[in-house]
Amino acid sequence: MILIADGGSTKADWIALDNTKKELFRTTTLGLNPSVLTEDEMFSTINNANDLLKVQNNVLQVHFYGAGCGSPKAAESLQNVLKSIFKRATVSVSEDTLAAVYASTGKNPGIVCILGTGSNSCYYDGKNMITTAPSLGYTIMDEASGNYFGKLLLRDFYYKKMPKRMASAFKTSFDLDTDVVKMNLYKKPYPNMYLASFAKFMLEYKDEKYVRKIIKKGIQDFFKYRILPFKKDNQTPIYFIGSIAYYFQDILDKVASKNNLSVTDVIKRPIDNLVDFHRNNSF
């Protein structure tokens, strides 16, 4: 049995294939970002996934692509956890950007971007992923991501910069007691997921001037730091993966056009494309 997983910070999608690469089942767990979570926390997440535990002794390969897996130390941490559970399996752990490449451009050159709970990008030349800068995560990077916008919404709410009608609805939608907020940000696990949870609020007000303004600025910053430094012409394919890109594609297209570029495709969830890539290529 083969397990293929695409893991963001918020959730991880898993698909199990038999030896002929026919799908057996799919399931979802919480995210497994080794840059944010301890090995014990990641072990606990998988250990609570009954669908995975039922087949743990039948799994011979695990291909995990995840947020926070870009550094060797972080990838090794998650690999240790997966090996401790799927004892018979060979385990590979790669960053989620590689999954985005496989799910979009495949083996062809292109710029591939992720706008989900976190954000990232690379230029894939057909063999190697080239980045503009290493990702330092949600505290100082992740432009135009869910946690980036969640941070802006929280800050604008407390500074009273959010439109009054929206601020009233925001207060009703979330527990904004300052002790609760600080507890989630500084003491509980998954602070990046907590921040990203506020970004969902923008969907209800996506036509509001305030929301469109912060979305546009966030995406422009993403282009500035994560796309334009590649210095590619407007014929280079550009792919976006993730919920933020998917739900705000109209603004994404406008920002791309402003920068004399165009978006080739937006994929909300890459797992199906990723599995197809594995079916058509040997690993």
pTM, rounded to two decimals:
0.84
Residue 270: its pLDDT value, please? Answer: 87
Residue 95 lies inside a defined structural domain of this protein: yes
Residue 250 lies inside a defined structural domain of this protein: no
- Burial class (CB within 10 angstroms; exposed 0-12, middle 13-18, buried 19+) of 155: exposed
Residue 230 lies inside a defined structural domain of this protein: no
Three-class SS state of 148: helix
Residues with Cβ within 8 Å of 245's Cβ and at least 6 positions away in sequence, in order, are: 113, 115, 116, 252, 266
Residue 120 lies inside a defined structural domain of this protein: no
Give the up-direction half-sphere exposure of residue 170: CA atoms within 13 A in the CB hemisphere: 27
DSSP state of 37: S
Residue 67 lies inside a defined structural domain of this protein: yes
CA distance 250 to 4: 31
Q: To 10 degrees, what angle do helices 72-85 and 39-47 make? A: 40
Structural domain total, the chain: 1
Strand stretches in the chain, DSSP E:
2-7, 11-17, 23-30, 61-66, 90-95, 110-115, 119-124, 129-130, 238-241, 265-267
Sheet hosting strand 2-7, strand order edge to edge: 23-30, 11-17, 2-7, 61-66, 90-95
Residue 149 lies inside a defined structural domain of this protein: no
> What domain range includes position 92?
2-100+271-280
Residue 86 lies inside a defined structural domain of this protein: yes
What is the rounded end-to-end Cα distance, in angstroms, of the chain? Answer: 14
CATH code at position 36 = 3.30.420.40
Residue found by looking up tokens 């690379």 in the block: 122
Residue 202 lies inside a defined structural domain of this protein: no
Q: Tens digits of per-residue pLDDT, 131-145?
A: 988 888 888 999 999
pLDDT in tens, the chain (283 residues): 999 999 877 889 999 999 888 999 999 999 899 988 899 999 999 999 999 999 999 999 999 999 888 888 999 999 999 999 999 999 999 988 899 999 999 889 999 999 988 899 999 999 999 998 888 888 899 999 999 999 999 999 999 999 999 999 999 999 999 999 999 999 998 898 899 999 999 999 999 999 999 999 999 999 999 999 999 888 999 999 999 999 999 999 999 999 999 999 999 988 888 889 988 887 6
Helix (H) or strand (E) holding 246: helix 243-247
